[in-house]
Amino acid sequence: MSDVVVGQRVSKRFGATPVLADATFTVGRGVTGLLGPNGAGKTTLLSMMLGLHRADSGRLEVLGLDPVRSGPEVRARIGYAPEHHLLPPDLPALDFVRHLAEIHGLPRAEAATRASDALWWVALGEERFRALGTLSTGQRQRVKLAAALAPDPALLLLDEPTDGLDPTQRDSMLDLISRIGTDVGIDVILSSHLLDEVERTCDQVVVLDDGHVVASGPLDELRGVERGVRLVVDADPAALAGSLASRGLDVVVDRYTLDVTSDLVDQCALQRIVRDEVAAAGIGLRELRSRVRSLSDVILGVGL
Amino acid sequence: MTTTEILERGYRRYDGPRLGVAASMSALVRHTVRRCLGVHRPARAKVFPVLVIVLAYVPTIVYVGVTVLGNRLQRSGVPGRSMARAFVPSYATSYLSITLAIVVFSAFVAPEVLCPDRRTGMLGLYLASPLDRFTYLVSKAAAVLMLTCVVTVGPPLILLVGYATQGFGPEGLAGWAGTLGRILGAGLTIAVLVTAVSLAISSLTTRKAAASAAFLALVIGLSGLLTMVVVQGAVSNRWGVFNLFTLPYEAAFRIFGEPSPLVLNAESEVPAGLIALGCGGWVAASVLVIAWRYRRAGVTA
């Protein structure tokens, strides 16, 4: 199976309010970002993937199944970590994770073992007997991740998993999510409104705005490779910029970073010229690569 | 001496059996019952349910004790058995001594079972599992029913065993089976009725205390009002089918075929069919309320 979720012209209204309009997208293997501002329809789409809302029109397939018709079967294979941090305050973390593993159909003994393992995996092994109400926001986010992971789902839906985390905790959470996609091999859909965390963590993205899919696909394809090169040097680049400009290239300087483009030469020739000029200038080169668009450029390009 | 520390336990994939929706429901029932009884929770969470259960069993233990004492006195030449027979109640009448415990227990259990799930977001996690709204509610109702049966079926069952062992019980296998059937029927009828109503009220709020107070207000307040107007003759005693405090026990008396001492029968016998209709009506109305409240519940509920 190559596609994890397939949506074809999926539409959904709540009363008179359209929430999704002709949404067509494909989510492949790996980590996929579901990106969009608040109210874009991300949570509704997650609910529809869980089979909790039926599409008014169009077709949605999750793990090869219709999530409404095969709801329990689909949900048994999905791990879900909600956005909210409210959890039963007096329930120990281990009991919480074990209970949800059992609810997902694991035998009792297996659920207990996997709950413990999942908590260790998210670095909460030492805290597993603590009541949820005594854990910090970051720890509770990781408990939710452990609860979603313990049943060993085929697909993980994470709704704003870094909400409320400080930068260190956020980095740690994003690393965990990346590892789930790469080391563990579980497909992940990460719902977020933060461009940088999607760009950092995800292989693919589905961008929603006001219920419309405005971009979707692998990040590399969406960003594409722009003409030109970006180089980062370790000394004042003024002289280098001057020499590049004298050869008819367009140069934009931002401190030690130079973006060099040209309509006159091809990409290979451009890279050779830049290499030679850097060598001639006698300054250190920290980075030299083809220019790529950021996800922000992509989204701005589609008018978001 | 060297020490070893496990720094990376890795992640194991699971390829064993997944047990399906029935197992999920069973897990939810088990978890709910344990939470309600305070298992794996702080001591303060255990005190109230245990106290009420004990209170529900105290009259039964006293009645059985009286039969034991009666038999001992009888052996001493005192007519203890007839004295004991005059004191101990019938199975139906025994409910009257545990009515308050049943009502208080019901006021505690259903809010404890339903309200926190919506308040803490657990409902969304359950609905993101193989459970759906229907199977979730059936599991929760089953848990409440099981817990309520602890106080509606347990005491008369102990009474049956106590009476039988002391020679006060039904005679013969047929008598035993008949009494056992009536005990289960009456206990279940009471449990189903109070379970349905208490769950319906609990579905209206996320606050446990508010749900408990509303249930007590409905059962005791409405009962007081109806009792007053029936006793004053302002309305027919048939209005008693709206009296949630007495209706379950009226049903129990009908099941045991005993005359009811309750105010509902102050004027004349209310037809058993009307009692059954009243019970069915309350349960149906409660189910409609619960279904309406949970119709739109989602993962973000």
∠ at Cα A262 (A261, A267), nearest 5°?
Answer: 80
A105 neighbourhood in chain B, CB within 8 Å: 18-20, 23-24, 130
Give the tens place of pLDDT for each residue, B95-120: 888 988 999 999 999 999 999 999 98
Average pLDDT in chain A: 89
DSSP state of B270: P
The pLDDT assigned to B299 comes to: 53
CB distance B298–A72 less than 8 Å?
A: no
Q: Is A52 on the interface with B (CB under 8 A)?
A: yes
A152 neighbourhood in chain B, CB within 8 Å: 12-14
A83 neighbourhood in chain B, CB within 8 Å: 300
Give the tens place of pLDDT for each residue, B1-53: 667 765 556 788 888 999 999 999 999 999 999 999 998 888 888 999 999 99
Q: Is A39 on the interface with B (CB under 8 A)?
A: no
Instruction: Show Cβ contacts of residue B98 under 8 Å, excluding neighbours closer than 6 positions.
Output: B55, B56, B59, B60, B151, B155
Chain A segment 67-86 residues within 8 A of B by beta carbon are: 71-73, 75-76, 78, 80, 82-84, 86
CB distance A149–B42 less than 8 Å?
A: no
CB distance B300–A43 less than 8 Å?
A: yes
Residue from the list B18, B24, B45 with its beta carbon closest to the beta carbon of A90: B45
Name the pLDDT band for A302 (thresholds 50, 70, 90): low
Residue in chain B lying closest to A156 (CA): B128
Judged by DSSP in three states, B297 sits in: coil
Whole-complex ipTM: 0.85
What secondary structure, in 3-state letters, does chain A show?
A: CCEEEEEEEEEEEECCEEEEEEEEEEEECCEEEEECCCCCCHHHHHHHHCCCCCCCEEEEEECCECCCCCHHHHHHCEEEECCCCCCCCCCEHHHHHHHHHHHCCCCHHHHHHHHHHHHHHCCCHHHCCCEHHHCCHHHHHHHHHHHHHCCCCCEEEEECCCCCCCHHHHHHHHHHHHHHHHHHCCEEEEEECCHHHHHHHCCEEEEEECCEEEEEEEHHHHHCEEEEEEEEECCCCHHHHHHHHHCCCEEEEECCEEEEECCCCCHHHHHHHHHHHHHHHCCCEEEEEEEECCHHHHHHHCCC
B131 neighbourhood in chain A, CB within 8 Å: 72, 103
CB distance B18–A120 less than 8 Å?
A: no
Most confident of A279-283, B8-12, B155-159: B155-159
Q: Kindly list the distances between the CA atom of residue B271 and the CA atoms of A155, A187, B93, B254, B265, in Å, as whole numbers in the listed order.
A: 58, 63, 19, 9, 10
Q: Is the pLDDT of residue A290 over 90?
A: no
CB distance B130–A103 less than 8 Å?
A: yes
**Residue from A99, A149, A156, A179 to probe the interface with B (highest B Cβ count within 10 Å):** A99
Please choose, from the candidates B285, B276, B286, the residue with its C-alpha nearest in 3D space to the C-alpha of residue B248. Answer: B276
**How far is C-alpha A59 from the geometric centre of its chain's CA atoms?**
24
B44 neighbourhood in chain A, CB within 8 Å: none
Q: Is the pLDDT of residue A157 over 80?
A: yes
DSSP state of B37: T
Higher pLDDT, B144 or A200: B144
Name the pLDDT band for A14 (thresholds 50, 70, 90): confident
Q: Is A184 on the interface with B (CB under 8 A)?
A: yes
Q: Kindly list the distances between the CA atom of residue A271 and the CA atoms of A186, A229, A279, B100, B215, in Å, as whole numbers in the listed order.
A: 39, 7, 12, 88, 78
CB distance A80–B128 less than 8 Å?
A: yes
Burial (CB count <10 Å: 0-12, 13-18, 19+), residue A272: exposed
Q: How far apart are CA A163 and CA A151, in angstroms?
A: 23
**How far is C-alpha A180 from the geometric centre of its chain's CA atoms?**
12
Q: Is A133 on the interface with B (CB under 8 A)?
A: no
A163 neighbourhood in chain B, CB within 8 Å: none
Name the pLDDT band for A39 (thresholds 50, 70, 90): confident
Residue from the list B31, B41, B299 with its beta carbon closest to the beta carbon of A90: B41
How many beta-carbon pairs under 8 angstroms link A with B? 118
Residue from the list A88, A105, A108 with its beta carbon closest to the beta carbon of B122: A88
B22 neighbourhood in chain A, CB within 8 Å: none
Contact B145, B192 (CB under 8 A): yes
Name the pLDDT band for B230 (thresholds 50, 70, 90): confident
**Residue from A12, A44, A48, A52 to probe the interface with B (highest B Cβ count within 10 Å):** A52
Per-residue pLDDT, averaged over B58-87, amounts to 90
The pLDDT assigned to B126 comes to: 94
**Residue from A44, A102, A124, A156 to probe the interface with B (highest B Cβ count within 10 Å):** A102
CB distance B18–A104 less than 8 Å?
A: yes
Q: Is the pLDDT of residue A149 over 90?
A: yes
Higher pLDDT, A74 or A298: A74
CB distance B14–A86 less than 8 Å?
A: no
Name the pLDDT band for A165 (thresholds 50, 70, 90): confident
The pLDDT assigned to B241 comes to: 84
Q: Is A171 on the interface with B (CB under 8 A)?
A: no
Name the pLDDT band for B301 (thresholds 50, 70, 90): very low
Please choose, from the candidates A99, A152, A90, the residue with its C-alpha nearest in 3D space to the C-alpha of residue A121. Answer: A152
The pLDDT assigned to B257 comes to: 87
Contact B233, B269 (CB under 8 A): no
The pLDDT assigned to A269 comes to: 86
Per-residue pLDDT, averaged over A187-192, amounts to 94
CB distance A121–B9 less than 8 Å?
A: yes
The pLDDT assigned to B263 comes to: 53
The pLDDT assigned to B78 comes to: 84
The pLDDT assigned to A248 comes to: 87
Lowest-pLDDT range of A67-71, A261-265, B124-128, B267-271: B267-271
Contact B78, B56 (CB under 8 A): no
Per-residue pLDDT, averaged over B118-145, amounts to 94
Q: How far apart are CA A259 and CA A278, in angstroms?
A: 13
Residue in chain A lying closest to B301 (CA): A84
The pLDDT assigned to A164 comes to: 84
**Residue from B14, B44, B47 to probe the interface with A (highest A Cβ count within 10 Å):** B14
Residue from the list B14, B28, B130 with its beta carbon closest to the beta carbon of A75: B130
Q: Is the pLDDT of residue A2 over 90?
A: no
A72 neighbourhood in chain B, CB within 8 Å: 20-21, 130-132, 135
Lowest-pLDDT range of A4-18, A42-56, A195-209, B222-236: B222-236
Lowest-pLDDT range of A191-205, B52-66, B130-144: A191-205
B34-46 in b/e form (b: 16+ CB < 10 A) is ebbbbeebeeebe
Please choose, from the candidates A111, A173, A150, A48, the residue with its C-alpha nearest in 3D space to the C-alpha of residue B128. Answer: A48
Please choose, from the candidates A117, A120, A112, A78, the residue with its C-alpha nearest in 3D space to the C-alpha of residue A95. Answer: A112
CB distance B127–A76 less than 8 Å?
A: no
Give the tens place of pLDDT for each residue, A192-248: 988 888 888 999 999 988 888 988 888 877 776 667 888 899 889 999 999 999 988
Tokens encoding A287? 């980075």
Q: How far apart are CA B109 and CA B43, in angstroms?
A: 17
Q: Is the pLDDT of residue B300 over 70?
A: no
Average pLDDT in chain B: 88
